[in-house]
Amino acid sequence: MSKLSSTIDNAIVQYFNHATGITTIWDRQDAIRPALPYISLSIQEIEDESGHQPDVAFDGAIRTLTFRNVATLRVRVFCNTDAAMGYLRDAIKYRYKSAGKTFLKNAEIAIREIDNIIDFSEMIDTNFELRAQANFIIAYADTVTDSDTQIVAISGTFNGAPFLGGSIPT
């Protein structure tokens, strides 16, 4: 089961992988941690863009609904050098770079940081593990195709008098 959609999930992993060049995984998987340094991603929240109805494309009895969503993504970096916060800076800067912009355009997502980068390094056994965290907003669209029985398309010939003295445009 995908988190947002399998295409967008993969694009998010690729974005951080390209931006920082380090291993990127989804959080909370049943496996051992990869070797340091690595980035761990988790989706914190998904919401419909507030107040918006889905965009509807109506084709006979088939409707395509396009939902515009935003998701909050928590990004954590675990490493054993001072670069923890630097990796997140790289991830933020990548969206202004040409390569990053092209990537986001092709992946059809938008990304933006919403918080400061926080340090939460900790002592693990006898060594410090350098950690940093930042939250990002991901904007994306997903569509649903639906065969609608509530709205029925009609067809026929208009047989009334032309209104306002004009003729019905053809």
Binding site for another protein (CB under 8 A): 6, 9-10, 13-14, 17, 23-26, 29-32, 34, 41
Instruction: Kindly tell me the burial class for residue 3, based on how many C-beta atoms sit within 10 Å of its own C-beta (0-12, 13-18, 19 or more).
Output: middle
Cβ 17 to another protein shortest distance, Å: 7
Residue 109 corresponds to which tokens in the numbers above?
């997502």
Q: Which candidate, 66, 12, 14, places its Cα nearest to that of 44?
A: 12
Cβ 23 to another protein shortest distance, Å: 7
C-beta closer to another protein: residue 36 or 65: 36
What are the start-end ranges of the E strands in 13-157?
23-26, 38-48, 55-59, 62-79, 110-113, 118-119, 122-124, 127-147
What percent of the chain is helix, strand and coil (3-state, nearest 5)? 25, 40, 35
C-beta closer to another protein: residue 3 or 63: 3
Q: Which candidate, 131, 41, 25, places its Cα nearest to that of 83?
A: 131
Cβ 3 to another protein shortest distance, Å: 10
C-beta closer to another protein: residue 24 or 133: 24
C-beta closer to another protein: residue 41 or 91: 41
